[in-house]
Structure 1
Amino acid sequence: MKLKVTIACSVIGILFILGFTLVNIAGEKNSFATALAPSAQRSHPARGSFSVSDTVYDFGVISMKNGNVNTEFTIQNLTDKEITIKTIVTSCMCTSAYIVGLDETVKGPFGMPGHGGAVPPANEIVKVGESRVIKVVYDPNAHGPAGLGSIDRFVTLTNSDGQELTLEIKAIVKP
């Protein structure tokens, strides 16, 4: 009987330590995204060669039953040379992004690398003084019931000089 109690206590102790370790590892991974988030939460008049007034959009409470939600960010070239947006990638497969040109043509979808094939290059030239709309679409049903609660997703644009601009969307997902 004493042996069974010792074994049971040992198993519970090991499970506790394992659980604690996994929570800390997950926390460290999330802390990287969290460390990036504060810089994205402020309004940036200029970030590298891109200019954008707001880098964060909060949808508030959204419902899975109502389907996709979207928002638009306007980026502008306030430099003295044209800029090429080389790539646009998202942080999750539930999020996609599109470039809306001056003539209303749409390029995309751009998504998460490695999910659903290769992400196409953006190769969008933005001349001096021009702007582009980056349309971001979030699918609250992409993760099923596991997708309920608070979400934080990112869209990263990279120009031909390697400079990045990160846009962020937030929401609280309800059934």
Structure 2
Amino acid sequence: MRRVAVRSVVLAGLLVLAGALPAGADAGPLPAGPDAGVEADVAYHGRVHLAGERLRIWLVPANDGPAALPNATVRVRLSAELADRQELSGGCARAGLREVVCETGPLPAHGRGRHIGLVLGLREPVSEVVVRVDTWWNGGASDRNLANNEHVVLALATGDAYAF
């Protein structure tokens, strides 16, 4: 029961930070948002590095347009469980046993957002981890090209960096 309550608080907090809901509002179905009807092409590029119980992820969100977005939320899901304690970058929050979400900040049309760096502790050392990166929320904008914002990366515990 505690994990459900924590997830609800994290979800509501992220939605307030992202401007999707006013403070104190119910975190029910997402509203369309002020950007409903606009078209943007959110994309992510980055690297994943696994060594021992540490997973390093560096990514840069981008928007190939045609419209700018005031904010979006990228979701990172893992095949391995996260350690209980995490020190996350600003604008990021844990959203489950294997999941972290981060706000991108403003995404100008045909431009890049802020660089996001994560150093995630895993519950135990693993020989490999599957990392899934996708857009969790984009303010209701339509995105006709999901191929560049949905990535699956297999990172082996070799110390090598894997690009996406």
- Tell me the TM-score range normalised by the shorter chain: 0.3 to 0.5
TM-score (normalizing by structure 1): 0.43
Bigger helix fraction: 1
